[in-house]
Amino acid sequence: MRQRLLDLLACPSCGRPLSSGSGTLGCAAGHAFPVEGGVPVLFAERPNGRGEQVRRRFDYQWRRFGRAERLFGKKRGAMLENLANARIGSTIREGFYPGRTVLDAGCGHGRYVEAFARLGAETVGLDAADFVRDLGPDLGTRDRVHLVQGDVLRPPFREASFDLVFCDGVLHHTGDAGAAFRALARLVRPGGYLYVWLYPREGRAFETTHRVLRAATMRLPARAVAGISFALVPLLSVARTYSGTRLGRARWSECAQVVYDWLSPAHQSHHSPPEVRGWFEAEGFETIEDLPVPVGMIGQKSAASAAGGTP
């Protein structure tokens, strides 16, 4: 763990600065946290109940599928391109990144962490799953890359530390997407950007069908859900996916990963563009832009905005 990361971190329990010593991090209030494999493990409270189920389900997902050539139908190069084209809005392009500090909140497979670093940003990957520690050999030794295990609802960073906070497909798995959004908004510097993508709210028939289906699958062991996901792959030849992954354009195992991602975690909320836009406005963001994926949005925090947004 490098000193630069320590300069960005804050105690997730009380917000005080952290200092290092004897393989742990601690704050002046006496809260202490381990460092495992060079990765700080910074939970104010360990997840439990549904939160722990979600953490374990994604840990299983990335251990089983996370090293595939393509994830959600995209190779590494396509993911990098997403960070410099219309997928992230009309303002941010390749020239934005050198010298900037970026947080990938809920970094999961780590491909975007790698891409941000390749574009020249100092990048922090945050994830609750243990798999984030396995990313170290691939990413942790790279210049400009830091990895942290922790909770998006209580992110262990100092306020107003990042030029861009990027949260792609994560908020809807937290159990309280609005609260997680507010927590991340506090980390954006005045003049910086917050990018989010969440599942859209669909029609009543769609919502009811998937709620009933997931009520069964999220109670099954992860291995069983993976098996079901492989069996359901043919449905992707006709069913729409938000990533565009479908049988015929992607391998069977790639499609199975997308099905597993949908069926497995206990927390899954759906949202409308007006709802998400309201979150941005309440936290002092302006130039809010709808992105070409539902519901994707990016906003720039007002340069005059005080760190922390609204209470």
- Which amino acid does the sequence have at 275? E
d(CA 38, CA 58): 21
The residue that leads in pLDDT, 247 or 106, is 106
Report the percent of the chain where pLDDT is more than 90: 80
Is a pLDDT exceeding 60 seen at residue 34?
yes
End-to-end CA, the chain: 32
pLDDT per residue over 233-266, tens digit each? 998 888 888 888 888 888 999 999 999 999 999 9
Give the predicted TM-score (pTM) of the model: 0.94
d(CA 284, CA 108): 28
- The arithmetic mean of pLDDT across residues 279-308, rounded, is 89
Phi first, then psi, for residue 176 (nearest 5°) are -155, 85
The residue that leads in pLDDT, 65 or 142, is 65
Ordered domains of the chain (ranges, CATH):
3-200+269-301 (3.40.50.150)
Q: Answer for the pair 33, 22: CB distance below 8 angstroms, yes or no.
A: no
d(CA 234, CA 51): 30
DSSP-based three-state secondary structure for 243: coil
* Non-local CB neighbours of 63 within 8 Å, separated by 6+ positions: 131, 134
Rounding to the nearest 10 degrees, give the CA dihedral for residues 250, 252, 255, 260: -160
Range of lowest pLDDT (32-41, 108-117, 135-144, 193-202)? 135-144
Q: How many CA atoms lie within 13 A of 197 on its CB side?
A: 16
d(CA 45, CA 61): 23
Q: Where are the beta strands (DSSP E) in the chain?
A: 19-21, 24-26, 32-36, 39-42, 101-105, 122-127, 145-150, 162-168, 188-197, 285-290, 296-301
Burial class (CB in 10 A: 0-12, 13-18, 19+), 170: buried
